[in-house]
């Protein structure tokens, strides 16, 4: 499994597309933060944590769309399955490789909190907890995107279905949706929306219910991916 993890990670790190995706994510995340400082006058990371999930909506499906669909298109999945490695190990190795890439992308934004240390007073542990929340969000987004990559050989279709699904999850708790559906229905949707759970981390609170939510979503879609991979092979 470790060998497959390194192979997947090296594919992105030795590929201009991987570097481009990571750098673009970091550039846009830093841009929106700087904009809030100079345009809105907000010298804190809350706007940053608010915009990053929407960047991940594009960034993660773009990275994950080929993770399994390309193996199926080129018929290399059959070769993988002949190795002494199970379908579960294949999926987990690919998942961890993608999560590592997202962590690298988030790491490129760590200059933001250190910059704020010099211009204003911030509580660093609260910021680090916010980053933990981003990693958990990313894990659930990766698992969802991998599931759709498993479902088709077409990378574009995998990207579109993953992005649409993530968009739907993100708007579940938005004010935009609240203006279209009854309040009691929106309140029910909030429990399955990632943004309210992420907000707990942004507030510096490690809520076990939110941790369970993200881990459950990740585990559920990874399980579905493994099941579909076993069924199709």
Extents of the domains making up the chain = 2-232
Nearest in space to 60 (alpha carbons), one of 27, 7, 22: 22
More confident residue, 38 or 202: 202
| CA 217 – CA 137 distance, rounded (Å) | 10
Q: What is the pLDDT of residue 120?
A: 67
Quote the radius of gyration of the chain (alpha carbons, Å).
18
Task: Report the share of the chain in percent with pLDDT over 90.
Answer: 30
Report DSSP state, residue 41. Answer: -
Which strand (E) or helix (H) includes residue 140? helix 124-151
Q: What is the pTM of this model?
A: 0.89
| CA 121 – CA 11 distance, rounded (Å) | 41
């Amino acid at each position: 499994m470790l060998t497959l993890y390194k192979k997947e990670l090296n594919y992105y790190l030795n590929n201009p597309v991987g570097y481009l995706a990571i750098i673009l994510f970091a550039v846009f995340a830093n841009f929106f933060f700087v904009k809030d400082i100079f345009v809105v006058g907000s010298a804190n990371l809350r706007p940053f944590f608010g915009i990053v999930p929407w960047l991940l909506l594009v960034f993660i499906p773009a990275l994950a769309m080929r993770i399994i669909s390309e193996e199926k298109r080129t018929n290399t999945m059959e070769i993988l399955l002949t190795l002494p490695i199970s379908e579960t190990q294949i999926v987990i190795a690919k998942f961890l490789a993608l999560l590592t890439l997202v962590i690298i992308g988030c790491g490129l934004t760590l200059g933001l909190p250190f910059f704020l240390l010099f211009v204003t007073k911030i509580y660093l542990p609260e910021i680090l907890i916010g980053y933990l929340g981003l990693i958990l969000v990313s894990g659930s987004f990766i698992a969802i995107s991998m599931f759709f990559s498993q479902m088709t050989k077409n990378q574009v279709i995998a990207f579109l279905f993953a992005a649409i699904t993530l968009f739907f999850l993100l708007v579940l708790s938005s004010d935009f949706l609240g203006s279209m559906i009854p309040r009691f229905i929106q309140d029910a949707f909030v429990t399955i929306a990632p943004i309210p759970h992420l907000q707990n981390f942004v507030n510096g609170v490690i809520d076990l219910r939110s941790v369970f939510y993200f881990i459950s979503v990740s585990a559920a879609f990874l399980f579905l991916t493994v099941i579909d991979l076993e069924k199709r092979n």
